[in-house]
Amino acid sequence: MFDWLQNLADWLVYGVFGLEESSKLGIAVNFFFYDTIKILILLMLITTLMGLVNAYFPVERLRDFLQRKKLYGLENLLASFFGAITPFCSCSSVPLFIGFVQGGIPLGVTFSFLITSPLVNEIALAMFIGLFGIKFTVIYAVTGILLGTIGGMVLGRMGLEKYLSDWVQNLIKAKTEASEAYRAEQVPFKERLKAVLHEAWGIVKSIVIYVIIGIGIGAAMHGYVPENFFAQYLGSGQWWTVPFAVILAVPLYSNAAGIIPVIQVLVAKGVPIGTSIAFMMATIGLSIPEGTLLKKVMSTRLISIYFGVVTLFIIISGFIFNFIL
Amino acid sequence: MKTIKILGTGCPKCKQTESVINEALALSGQQAEVIKVEDIQKIMEYNVMSTPAIVVDEVLKMKGKVPTVSEVLALLA
């Protein structure tokens, strides 16, 4: 699908710039051009696609659906799935959280949404497809959705309502005037697509600098770090690498666009895939700024439990991947 | 004079929304009081789940996206 782009990168780097095809600099520059353009195309495609899904199935509609139907455990899966396809912005997670509990959605189901929403997002998916391929992307997305589902179920059983901020507890008790049923806006497809494209372009524009920096670092490492450099230190033989990588990653706040190209090179140079997936999940899914925002609605204790449970599940998935892949 | 409230917890999108609104006001020559509502408790009183949202004279007009200048002009008309 991207052969033409490779040809273009080859022509540009070896032909126009006149770099040696076998030189380290040549390889690094080629890698940089090819990956940057490919990822920008994929980012635009996937954010547009998700934007369209969201235009037709906004989160208010999910809330109404969950309020009305009894799903016998499937609601966690559904909430997690929707967390994955909803465009994520760390600043919208708090209003979403309150909107859910206010609407009488159980805390565990709300957590399922909250865990998956940053973990599986359009930017991460586009970067994964571009750098690791479809198979890896599907594995990552499915793992993320399952992690949200199970994590939410576990948290739901722990009876954590009492650790929510007082005003949120009062909201639950008041169980707001039944939120008005979601009404689909009658907007023609053409108008919608225009708005979605506008939005998608805005997202891509805002992260383009991180993509370039991330791929730049990746490209430099790609050309200069020897093959299997990491295998001896961080190879799958060392079990402790998974928890170590995760614990390192939680406080590390980096957006997906910047971190994924670097990880891709680490994998190419011998870091096991499970360790890498765990590292990425922890970087993308859990962050200190998100914790700070959640402080407005939860006690520190609840945030610690939430982060603790998710961290534990990420470590477990890392082990499973190192074992099966 | 209209009162325009921008609901949002202070993310980049909310700031973009503010500048779009100011641009639209300058363009149309209308006067309006623009207030940013960043307190989550106040935001939730409008029952919105996706920010940024725009409230004109206490009526929720738009939510979950950064508007374009022409959309804001339509809201103010």
Report the distance separating Cα A175 and Cα A316, nearest Å. 37
Amino acid at A139: I
The predicted-structure confidence for A187-233, as pLDDT tens digits, reads as follows 788 888 888 888 888 888 888 888 898 888 888 887 777 777 776 66
Over residues A150-163, the mean pLDDT reads 91
What span, in angstroms and rounded, lies between the C-alpha atoms of A125 and A141?
8
Q: Where are the domains of chain A?
A: 3-174+188-324
Tracing tokens 């396809």 back to the chain, one arrives at: A85
- What is the ipTM, given to two decimal places? 0.72
Average pLDDT over residues B54-62: 87
Report pLDDT for A108: 92
Cα–Cα distance list, B10 to A8, A198, B38, B40, B43 (Å) = 42, 21, 6, 10, 12
Hunting for tokens 């980012």 — which residue is that? A43
pLDDT at A176 over 60: no
Q: Judge residue A185's burial from the number of C-beta atoms within 10 Å of its C-beta, 0-12 exposed, 13-18 middle, 19 or more buried.
A: exposed
Q: What CATH number is associated with residue B50?
A: 3.40.30.10
**DSSP symbol at B74:** H
Round to whole Å and give the CA distance between A262 and A218.
5
Residue-wise pLDDT for A255-290, tens only, equals 777 888 888 888 888 888 888 888 888 888 887 777
pLDDT at A128 over 60: yes
Residue entry with tokens 């004279």: B57
| Apex A276 CA angle, A249 and A154, nearest 5 | 65
CB contact under 8 A, A59 and B65: no
Q: Verify whether residue B14 is a known catalytic residue.
A: yes
**Which pLDDT score, from 0 to 100, does residue A235 have?**
66
Q: B74 — contact with chain A (CB < 8 Å)?
A: no
The share of chain A scoring above pLDDT 70, in percent, equals 91
Q: A48-107: per-residue pLDDT in tens?
A: 998 888 888 877 788 888 878 777 778 999 999 988 887 766 667 778 888 888 888 889
Peptide bond into B52 cis (omega under 30): yes
Q: Please write the tens of the pLDDT for every residue from A4-29.
A: 888 888 888 888 887 887 787 888 88
Contact assessment for residue A272 and residue A70, using Cβ atoms and an 8 Å cutoff: no
Q: Find the domain containing B31 and state its range.
A: 2-76
**CB-based contact (8 Å) between B6 and chain A?**
no
Q: What confidence category does residue A181 fall into, taking pLDDT thresholds of 50, 70 and 90?
A: very low
Question: Helix, strand, or coil here: B8?
Answer: coil
Q: How many residues does chain A have?
A: 325
Q: What is the mean pLDDT of residues B61-72?
A: 83
In total, how many domains does chain B have? 1
| Residues 10-69 in B contacting A (C-alpha not used; CB under 8 Å) | 10-14, 16, 40-41, 43-44, 47-51, 64-66, 68
Residue B27 annotated in active site: no
Which candidate in A53, A59, A85, A89 is best for mutational testing of the B interface (most B CBs within 10 A)?
A89
